[in-house]
Structures are given as C-alpha cells and as structure tokens.
Structure 1
Amino acid sequence: MHLSPSYPIETERLLLRPLSPDDVDAAHAYMSRPEVTAYTPYEPRSREEVAARFADPKFTRTTLDAEGQFVFLGIVVKETGQLVGDALLAWHSELHRSGEVGYQLHPDHWGRGYATEAAREMLRLGFEDLGLRRIVARIDEDNPGSAAVLRRLGMRQEAVLVENEWFKGRWSTEVIFAMLDREWRDLSGGA
C-alpha cells in the first residue's frame, strides 16, 4: 500500500495540495479562530505555532508509505487561489486497511460545500489510491455542521461514545462515522 498523488489534486471548485511554510499566514487566519478550534485537539494557534507546525516534515508530508502516517492538504479555492482550510487523510492500519478523514475551514467559507468537496476527495484518495477498506471520521456531538458534512458524503453514523473523553474542560461525547470501500464504490458509481 502506498499513496503518492500528483499535486495539486483538482476537484470541481478546489485544489488540494501539500501545505508549506508559504501558507503560514493563510493557515493562521483560520487556525487562530476559537470557532475553528472548538472541536480540534488544539487551542487557537499563534502565528509562531503555525510556522513551527509547517516547518515539521510530518505535517507537510506529500506521500503515505507506512501505517501511522497522515497527509494534511491545503484546501484552495480555484477561482481565487485562496487557501481556506485543510483536509486530513490518516492511515491507521495496514493489516485492517483502515484510515480516517478530517477537515477544518475558515468560518468565512463555511456553508459553501467546500468541506464536503474536499473530504470526498480525501475518501477517494483513501479508498481508490491507497486501497483502504474502512475510513472513519470522529466528531464531537456538539458539532452538527460536521455531522451534516459526513452524512452528505454518505458516511454512516456508527457509534456514539457518551462522555468518553475529557476535552477542553468538559466531558465530550464523540460520534463516529464510517464508510467501507464497497459503500464508496456504490456511491461513486463502481469506481
């Protein structure tokens, strides 16, 4: 199993590409926002924290060749060239052929379908290019916008882990969505 796509990856309205140190200011514009980081493992980041992250090769990886690795791809609006968020594909297990998707967007771009479009492409990369069998997405139950994105993708809600994690000063209930490769093929027309 191996993932080595050609970049940028083009969707109808977006370009997905590896993040680089040149993206620090644009990424800081959303990574520093409390409404964006409310459901992420980190607090709003300073510009210096974003710069340090983008200087770390594991966060700017362009390929996957071993389980435990992940790619973060910048979400760029084709029409404007503006970086508006990022999407994640993580490879959890080679034996189980499992992975995870995630995404975050600048609030000025919420409600336009960009998260759905980017996450759909991450699912395609995971299933069709990497050969995963099962991909999950994990969200906080207090994040209905993200649940709507995952449902639009055709992912099924599979589990609700009630107050399973102490998260940012409260017990968080985690909701797990999942999709199998055969479900992906059915939704994408047998690709």
Structure 2
Amino acid sequence: MESRTPVRSGGFDPEYPIVTTRLLLRPITAGDAVTMHSYKSDPDAVRYVPYAPLTLDEVEQRIATTWSRTVFTTEGDGVCLAVEERESGALVGDVVLFWRSETDRAGEVGYIFAPRFSGRGYASEAVDALLALGFDGLGLHRIAARIDERNTASARVVERLGFRREARLVESEWFKEEWTTLLIYGLLETEWRGRSASMQ
C-alpha cells in the first residue's frame, strides 16, 4: 500500500523561474499587465475561464493581490505564474496550480494562453512543468483539471499529459448565464512518474 506522506511541512517556496525547453514560468509582475490585458479582455480567450473579459484596471488589481502569490503556505492557496517564451521573451499566457487539500494531497491546474500563440504546444509544456511543481515540489498525490466540455482544445492538453477523464457532470454549473457540462480529469503521482520514466 502506498504511504500517505504529507505535503511539505510549512508549505512550499518554489525556485523561480521554472525552465522548460522553450518556456520560463515565473512570478507575474506589474509589468505584465498590458500584455495580459490583451488576452484577458478577449471574449473568446476567456470564454471558459471563471471571469468575464477584464479591464486593464482589473488585471492590475489582480496582479497586485491574488495573482502575485508565489509561495504555497496552506491549503486553498493558488500560485499563478506567467509563461514566457524563452527565445523572444514574449508573455504567451499564464498558468495556476491550486493546493486544494492538505489531507488528501490534492491539487488542480488551470491555464489560459494568448490566442496568437495557440497551436505551438506551449500549454502542454507549461502544464507539464506545473505537474512537476505539484508532485515533486509540493508533494501532491493527485492533480485534477476541470474543463468545460466545449473546450476541446483544453481537454486535449491534459489528455496529452496522461490525465484520465473521470467524470462528465451534465449541466452541473450555472456559468456565464448558461448551464455548463464539466469534464473532470485526474492524474496520480504514480501515473505521472510512470509516464515520465517511460519518456526517458
């Protein structure tokens, strides 16, 4: 039987930037506001995320508060990171890892990318880095993703990374003035390590 090793005592303070083949994941700064606003104000880009198109003032306010967290201190924390293209330095999107439960060692990922950078595999590469942050860094047992059924591109991202679809919750949430069917995906630490080992 697998041991129930707790998540890191006292939380987890990651080292930044997190470097992948093509990307840097780093804390969001005030200087990111204008670029972030360019895609967070786009109705198509934010269609399936839990906020309406944002004004520049709203982006700046969130950067100054909830999006500026860089440390996991207690369950319920979410760390948002800017995703930067290493070659050009361009901000291509942002990702978030939530620490959902200390007892269950559970987390959840979320992500949004500027439409002009779609189709390059950046979302998969960035979320893969979040998995390492969650499993290796924070000590999570399971990471989930909750995806609107209509968001097929987002579903492909987690499926590519080995997540399994665990549930389809039909019209389970009243979201942006309509009923939304959610797909629940999950990935265990053991599955992630097995996948990572098979790729080496």
Tell me which residue corresponds to 1:37. Answer: 46
Choose the corresponding residue for 2:121, options 108, 113, 122: 113
Tell me which residue corresponds to 1:49. Answer: 58
With the length of structure 1 as denominator, give the TM-score of the two structures.
0.97
Tell me which residue corresponds to 1:132. Answer: 140
Tell me which residue corresponds to 1:96. Answer: 104
1:1-191 alignment to 2 at 5 Å? 1=8, 2-56=11-65, 58-189=66-197
The alpha carbon displacement at 1:168 in A equals 1.0
The alpha carbon displacement at 1:6 in A equals 1.4
- Take 1:160 and 1:31, find their aligned partners in 2: how far apart are those partners? 27
Structure 1 unaligned regions, length at least 5: none
Tell me which residue corresponds to 2:4. Answer: none
SS of the residue corresponding to residue 123 of structure 1 reads helix
- 1:17-44 deviations in Å (ceiling 9; x for gaps): 0101111011111111111110011111
CA RMSD of superposed structures (Å) = 1.2
The alpha carbon displacement at 1:4 in A equals 1.5
With the length of structure 2 as denominator, give the TM-score of the two structures.
0.93
The alpha carbon displacement at 1:72 in A equals 0.3
| 8 A contact 1:30–1:84 mirrored in 2 | no
- Take 1:63 and 1:55, find their aligned partners in 2: how far apart are those partners? 15
Amino acid at match of 1:131: G
The alpha carbon displacement at 1:133 in A equals 0.2
- Take 1:124 and 1:137, find their aligned partners in 2: how far apart are those partners? 15
| 8 A contact 1:157–1:178 mirrored in 2 | yes
- Take 1:47 and 1:65, find their aligned partners in 2: how far apart are those partners? 29
| 8 A contact 1:165–1:172 mirrored in 2 | yes
Large movers: runs of 4+ above 4 Å: none
- Take 1:71 and 1:142, find their aligned partners in 2: how far apart are those partners? 26
- Take 1:9 and 1:163, find their aligned partners in 2: how far apart are those partners? 37
The alpha carbon displacement at 1:161 in A equals 0.3
SS of the residue corresponding to residue 34 of structure 1 reads coil
Percent identical among aligned pairs is 49
User: How many residues get paired?
Assistant: 190
The alpha carbon displacement at 1:9 in A equals 0.8
| 8 A contact 1:28–1:50 mirrored in 2 | yes
The alpha carbon displacement at 1:3 in A equals 2.1
Amino acid at match of 2:102: E
SS of the residue corresponding to residue 36 of structure 1 reads coil
Amino acid at match of 2:175: F
